[in-house]
Each structure stands twice: as structure tokens, then as C-alpha cells.
Amino acid sequence: MSGESEFEQVLELDDDGRLQPVSMAFEDFFAAHHQAVLSALAITIDDPELARDAAAEAMTRAYQRWGDVSLHRNPAGWVYRVGLNWARSRLRKFRREVRRHDLDLDRPVLPHPVVDPRLDAAMALLSVDHRAVVVLRFHLDWSEATTAEALGIAPGTVKSRTSRALSRLAEALEETDADQ
Amino acid sequence: MPINDDLSEFLEAKAASIDVDPIDLAGIRQRGRRRNRRNRMVGVGAVFVLVIGASVGVRTLTADDSGSDVAVGAAASGPASDSVPPPDPTVALPTSTLGPNQSSTESTSSAAAVPGVNVGTPIVVPWGDGFLSWSTIRESPTLDLLDPSVADKFPPEIIAAVRDAGATTLEESVEALRAAGLLELATQIVTDDPDLLDLYSQATNQGTTRFVAQTSNDGVTWQEIDTSLWPAVSPSGREVVSDGSHLLIAENPGDGGGGPNSASTIRINLTTDLETWSTIDLAPPSQFEGNPHVRSEAWLSSIAIGPDGWVAMANSNVWLDIESLIPAELRGVSEYRVDYKTDGVTIQIHPQTPANPTDTFTFTWDELGIDGSELGPDFSGDQTITTIFAADWDAEPTVAVDTAGLGRFREIVGTDSGYVALTQRTGEVESNLAYSADGMSWQAVATPGIQRVDALAAVDGGLVVSGGTNSDLGLWLGGPDGAGLVPVTLPEIPPGTSIRFNTGSSTLGAAAIVDLTRYSAFDPFTVDFDVTIEQDGIAVTFVQRSDGSGWLKAVDSATGEVLLEQPLGAENQAESPVTIDAEWLTLSDEVGDLIVRLPTVEVEKKINAARDAAIAAAQSDRPAPEEMVPDVRLVASRDGVNWLVTSAPDEAGSFPDAMAINGHTLVARFGSDFQTFTLP
């Protein structure tokens, strides 16, 4: 393996003298990562309930095939990606089926007292793709390489999406400041 | 300002502000187990693991763990479960006749009447004009019932069902629970409780096992046959194929491989009368013979019967013995990193941490006596080499030639004119076809319109292929050489469904179980609703339909006269009688006179409320999230032209363990029971 990664695999010899990655127990993985995956998904798709369902679905799939998933360099990245894809599928389906009945009436959402409402509003302007790189890079603190691997995109794409997302956030904040 | 300075802090606060129920590990495990169990129910090897203590029977399943998409197929091939004890000639019963249990409807069930429970994957193959089937049976042990420590874990109705039936054995308890409709519940309780599962699994290991083979002319009436002259067959790595007059049982005898250049072998057992057998051991040739640094292990991959003989395919895994390359004192105690390069291999020893290698050893391929190109330019530690053996009925098998450039052979089926292989080229996802008349010389088969082949099945006079493009999967029928494939339309099977055939029946037919089961959470979710708002003597009704259409209608409440009926979606356009702004929704008649004005906010609120109420009502009528909507089909044909598509047989809460086709009859085996279907 090459490239930076926070999830360097530990290898050990098996009985036949072949190197094999050492996997951790699913329970340990779940305890260490489920909350981070859930919060990352919730921020990315901006829907906590859907994020919870997505995280549960992704964790279930990971549990079903833990023998394989555990050998990934970053199982949490795998779970995040599965959850994100699942949530997007649900969002597409939901939009397709409900939009036709929806008169686009925005409902008021009460801001959380400790969350910067300016950044919150600015984040909402980003696409899901851009929010995903922001969340993985700045919330989970993953490197570009690990983020790229988790999202299944090239590191260069992570770099460009991050740059554009940060620019967009800065622009939105400046507009907000100018309005005030 | 540098936005990323605040971003991490914001995201941390945002994450902390998320107010949602946590994910529950127990729930994840339970759902995963439930799905795995469902998936396995579609697998090849449904096997009773009888569970009883407090008189509870449980059917769990083993073997195929391939996932949820598809299915298993016809005839009799496939690896046996590791739990299958080898048939032991010393314990085989002498020939005896079992009691008939006969009927003659299109779908006919019969019991084999062999006391005991299957503990391995049953086999069914065509034989003569009928069928041959075998399995390993475990005689049910007598059990102590009603141990309170166990009985307390089950609801009273389960305990009562078994007690009232007077069941004293595992098998009797299962039957009692099945008859009471409680077997699924009992299964769920046991599989969700690791302690119970362990306890009952131990119980199932009691009792003696014996190998039982039976024949039938019609799939309904079965006779047990003498197997005392059968070869001992190991439980792992077994493949079976029959064309009705020849039976091949192939296996990897013992572990065979693993040591440096160990000559692991493939064993072929062949009979034409079920009494006299010939045994042929095949050793895949190794180009690294004698090299102390290369290890290899071969395993059986596929066998097939053709018009004049048979073929067997073995895959050999070849890998470098890294331990042989490092100093003896470091063997078995060190972690190390291995980098394979085009000119050799480098090994870094990490006695403590990967970041601090203390020793590095580099070897060129020449030094190791290996030409790197022999292992392939992308060699990364191990490599698989495929060997195909081919033989006529009266000749010694030889290694096939002329397979170069065709890619890796994944499976082979025998057809009326020769053999067709499913092949895959290195680095490509798509699979292709290759054909050989004699098993020795192969050439690629053109498959226009088919980028990917998922499975093959030989049928009378041709070949059925499951595949297509990634977005458009289906069945195709071609000649016995795989050429001239044309689509087969099965209206009952949705386009895009991948169908996996079991190819062990040689030229006698194709069958598969196709799982179209869905989860309710993925069901389409649509609602209809309407809402009426009264204003100034005018009733305005807004209607939305799930097909996307919508309209409004204004009616004079006093007279009932319809003043305006207008599709939604063209508001505010020129000539539109409906205009909306932030304050008012205005309706005008055809000459532009005002009909009524409604407050926009009020309209939005009422439409929202009606929509939410309709969604809530629709959701309340839906099955609970994740509830299964089972839909499993049996798809079978003897000739690829005429197909039987019906609900899959579900004799005892699971799908068939094995199926085989002979003529117009399909036999499905469930544990000890059989069900027959008439094919068109």
C-alpha cells in the first residue's frame, strides 16, 4: 500500500506463511466509530433521522460481511460511503415521490443555540458532495488520501472539492456579514 | 477570515447538537443475523441443525453465504457443507425398499421416509430415466425435555406444542413446531440467543450418522440403494455431475497441498451403474517443482460431462513462502511488510512497529529461481493458475491445450456438442464464453450484446446464458456451442434480474431459485390527497394524485355550479386564470373577472396539512420498515424454449436444498422430502 492513511493495516502471518491483515471485532469497531459515522452522515445529508437510518443500514451491512469489510484499510470509510449512498438513494426516491405534492413551503427550523447559525446556513448551501469532503476532512479529520478512498474518488477531486467548498462557505459568510 | 479555522469547531458543535436516538449494537446484530439467515435460506445447503432442549426444534442453514440477490440452481453440483460427514461404506445400509408415498399431481410432494435428519447438503441428479439422490442422515437423539433454564426462554405455546405432540426427539419436535406454525418463531428465538444456539448446536452433534442414497423413476417413489461399494468421499471440495448414464463425484482428497510444491491432487470417481467405480487422481502440473520458496495448493473448481467424456478444472494457488526467505530466528515471531516489484521482492521486518523496520531483505526473481513473468507482471504475493483436464470415456485424461488468451476459466458446462466455459480476462469485470468440442482445444465465443455472463446452464439442444449488460440482465438461448444467443423473455421476472444456475446437470436442463424479495422500506411511496377551502361562498378544492397530476376546482357553494377547473402547474403564466403571489392566490374566470381570492399563507398551510395527513395515513398502512415482502420464484426449463416460472417451493420454511431435471420432471429436495414439478 502506498500513500498516507490514518488506517495503516496491521499484518500478521497466517498458518501458511502468508501475510494477512489483522481484523478487529465488529463490536470494537462499532463502539469506536458508530457515533462518528452517524454525526458525519447527519451533517452531510442534513437530516438526522435519515442519517440514523443510513448509519444503521450501513452498520448492518458491515456486520453481515464483517469478514471482508474489516479488511478494508478504513472500515469506517466503507460504512460512511455505504450510508451516504443509501441515504442519497432514499433522498432521490423521496424527492421523486413527494415533490409532486410539495408546494415548496419551507418550514422554520429552530437553530441550535451553540451552533454558529451563519456557518450552519452556509453549509446548507453546499452540495452533498462538497459537504461530504468538508465533513470528512474537518470533522473526522481524515487526510485527503483517506477521504478519497472513503468516497471512492481521486485525491485530486477531494482537493478541488474542498477548495471550492471552502470558497463557497467564505463567500456565504461574507454575504451574511454584508447584510448585517 | 480563514474559514477552516472555525470549521472544525463548528462541525464539532453541530455533531453535538444532533438530537437523534443512538444506533443500537444489539439491533444491528439482530438485523444482520436475520438478513443473513434469510440469505442463507436461499442457499444451496439448507441443513437441519436440530435444536432441542426444552423441546424446541430449529432449522438453521449453512453452506452458501453468497448474499441476497439470487439463488441456487438445478441438479446436483456444488460444494458440500463442511459439516457433512463423509459417507462411510462401513456404515452404509444394505439395499432396502422404502415405503412408497406417491401422488400424481403436477406439483407432488413425497417423503423419503428415511428416519433422521439431513446434516449435510443433499444431492439430486438425473439417473437413468429418473433420479438419484443422497445425503448424510443423523439419527435424532432422544432428549431430556423441559429443562427450566432453557424452557423459560420460550413462550408457553412453543413448549405446549412440543409437549402436546409427545415429541421426544429433535426431529419430532421440529415436526410438532412446524405443524403448529411455530417453527419460524422458535428458529428466531434460538438464532437470536448465542447461548441457546451453542447449547442446541451441541445437542445436534449427538446421534450417529449414516450415508443414504436413493433412486426414483418418477421423483415421487424412492428406494434406498446399497452404497457399500461406493468410494469414500471427503466432505469438502466435492462436485457432482451426471448426464443420467454417467456419474462423476470429484473431490480434493485430504488437504493435499500447503507444503512446498506439494502435489495436491484432484480425485475423480466415475460410475455407470452405481456399483462399479473407477477412481482417477489428477495432479495439476507445477512449473515451480522443487523450488523451496514457492508453495502451491490446488483445488477442484468445476467438472462437466460432454457427449463423449468429461472435463475437470482445477485452480492452483501459487505463492511465495516468505518465511523461507528470512532468517530462521525471525520466523514466526515477526511482522513484516512485503513489496513485490517487477524484478523481485523486498521484505521489511518489523519486530516492534511498522514505522521502524530493523531489517530489510531483497531478492531478485533470478535469485529465487523464478522468472517473474511466469507469475505474471502484476504478481503481488500469490497467483491462481487454472488447469483443465479432459478425457474421453475410454481414455486417460490429459491437460487441455490452447487456452491462452481466453482468460481465467471460472466454470464449465457440458452440452450436446461439447463444452462451454465461462471465462474472465485479467483485469476485466466482464466475463465471456469459450467453447471446446473435446475439452482440449478452446476458442472464444462471440456474444454480441452480452457484455457480462453470470451463469450457464446446458439444456436439451442448446445453452442458456444468464447475463447481458450491467443495466439490462436477462436470459439468452443459444446453440450447444454457445453461439447464436437470442434473448429469452420471461414476463414474470423483472428485467435486470441476475439468475444463477447450477450447472451440474449436464445437458438435462436449467433451473434456479430467483429471489425477488423486497424490503418494504424500499417500496414506492406515493400518496393522493385533496383539500377544500371555503371563501366568500366559493369552495376551492385542490387535488393531487400520485401519478403526478393535480388540479383545482372552484364551485359556487350555493348552486353547485363549477366556476373554474384548472390543472395545476401553469399558475402565473400568460392567460392563466390562476395567479399566486406572496399574499393572494387569485382565481379568475374566462373573461378575467374575479372569482375568489384566497390568502396564500392559508392555502399553503391547509395544503401542507392535507399532504402530511395523507403521508401519515399511507405510512400507517405500510408494513413496518424493513419488513420483508417475500417473492421467490422457481425458474426452470428442459430445452430453454419452454419455461416453468412459479412460486418457489417452500416445503418446510426454506427453499430446496437441491434440484435436478430429467425430461419433463423437476425434482426438488427439502431435507428428507421431495417435491416434483412437471416442466412444459
Are B503 and B456 within 8 A, CB to CB? yes
User: What would the pLDDT profile of B366-405 be if each residue is shown by its tens digit?
Assistant: 888 877 666 655 566 666 778 899 999 988 888 887 677 7
Q: Does B328 touch chain A (CB under 8 A)?
A: no
Residues of A with CB below 8 A from B293's CB? Answer: none
Segment B623-627 mean pLDDT: 53
Are B134 and B238 within 8 A, CB to CB? no
Are B352 and A29 within 8 A, CB to CB? no
Query: pLDDT band for position A16 (50/70/90)?
Result: low
Domain residue spans in chain B? 26-40+141-204, 529-621
What cell was used for B171?
426431529
Write down the pLDDT at residue B392.
92
Residues of A with CB below 8 A from B19's CB? Answer: 48
Q: Does B442 touch chain A (CB under 8 A)?
A: no
| DSSP conformation class of B358 | -
What cell was used for B525?
411511496
Give the integer Cα–Cα distance in Å for A39 and A139. Answer: 9
Which residues does B132 contact at the CB level (< 8 Å), separation at least 6? B123, B124, B125, B126, B213, B214, B215, B242, B247, B274
Rounded to the nearest 10 degrees, the angle between the axes of helix B25-41 and helix B183-191 is 130
Give the integer Cα–Cα distance in Å for B388 and B423. Answer: 13
Give the integer Cα–Cα distance in Å for B159 and B154. Answer: 7
Nearest-neighbour CA in chain A from B20: distance (Å): 6
Segment B475-482 mean pLDDT: 94
Give the integer Cα–Cα distance in Å for B525 and B518. Answer: 14
Place of cell 443420467: B244
**Over 70: is that where the pLDDT of A104 sits?**
no
Helices and strands counted in chain B (H then E): 9, 40
Domain residue spans in chain A? 11-179
Segment A133-162 mean pLDDT: 85
Segment A87-97 mean pLDDT: 56
Residues of B with CB below 8 A from A63's CB? Answer: 28-29, 32
Are B213 and B124 within 8 A, CB to CB? no
Which residues does B503 contact at the CB level (< 8 Å), separation at least 6? B73, B74, B75, B77, B302, B304, B411, B413, B455, B456, B457, B458
Write down the pLDDT at residue B140.
62
Fold of A11-179: Arc Repressor Mutant, subunit A (1.10.10)
Using CB atoms and an 8 Å cut-off, which of residues 569-598 of chain B contact chain A? none
* Strand positions, DSSP E, B430-577: 431-436, 443-445, 452-459, 462-469, 472-478, 486-488, 510-515, 518-519, 529-535, 538-544, 550-556, 562-567
Nearest-neighbour CA in chain B from A124: distance (Å): 12
Query: pLDDT band for position B147 (50/70/90)?
Result: low
What cell was used for B208?
450417529
3-state secondary structure of B222: coil
Write down the pLDDT at residue B16.
82
Give the residue with greater pLDDT, B412 vs B658: B412
Give the integer Cα–Cα distance in Å for B313 and B302. Answer: 5
Give the residue with greater pLDDT, A150 vs B502: A150
Using CB atoms and an 8 Å cut-off, which of residues 106-125 of chain A contact chain B? 112, 114-116, 119-120, 123
User: What would the pLDDT profile of B516-548 be if each residue is shown by its tens digit?
Assistant: 776 554 455 566 788 899 988 999 998 877 666
CB-neighbour burial class of residue B345 (10 A; exposed 0-12, middle 13-18, buried 19+): buried
| DSSP conformation class of A138 | I
| DSSP conformation class of B508 | G
Give the integer Cα–Cα distance in Å for B544 and B546. Answer: 7
Q: Does B613 touch chain A (CB under 8 A)?
A: no
Q: Which of B165, B177, B170 is nearest to B144 (CA)?
A: B170
Displacement of CA B14 from its chain's centroid (Å): 42
> Which amino acid is present at B344?
G
Write down the pLDDT at residue B413.
93
Give the integer Cα–Cα distance in Å for B447 and B463. Answer: 13
Q: Does A170 touch chain B (CB under 8 A)?
A: yes
**Over 80: is that where the pLDDT of B38 sits?**
no
Residues of A with CB below 8 A from B6's CB? Answer: 116, 119
Give the integer Cα–Cα distance in Å for B514 and B314. Answer: 29
Size of interface A-B (CB pairs under 8 A): 147
**Over 60: is that where the pLDDT of B71 sits?**
no
Nearest-neighbour CA in chain A from B334: distance (Å): 8
Question: CA-CA distances (angstroms) from residue B21 to A53, B32, B157?
Answer: 10, 19, 34
**Over 70: is that where the pLDDT of B206 sits?**
no
Give the integer Cα–Cα distance in Å for B514 and B632. Answer: 6
Q: Which of B362, B319, B317 is nearest to B337 (CA)?
A: B362
User: What would the pLDDT profile of B574-615 be if each residue is shown by its tens digit?
Assistant: 778 888 887 888 898 888 888 999 988 888 888 878 877 877
Q: Is the ipTM of this complex over 0.85?
A: no
The dihedral formed by the CA atoms of B54, B59, B65 and B68, expressed in degrees to the nearest 10:
-110
3-state secondary structure of A162: helix
**Over 90: is that where the pLDDT of B130 sits?**
yes
Q: Which of B361, B345, B350, B237 is nearest to B294 (CA)?
A: B345
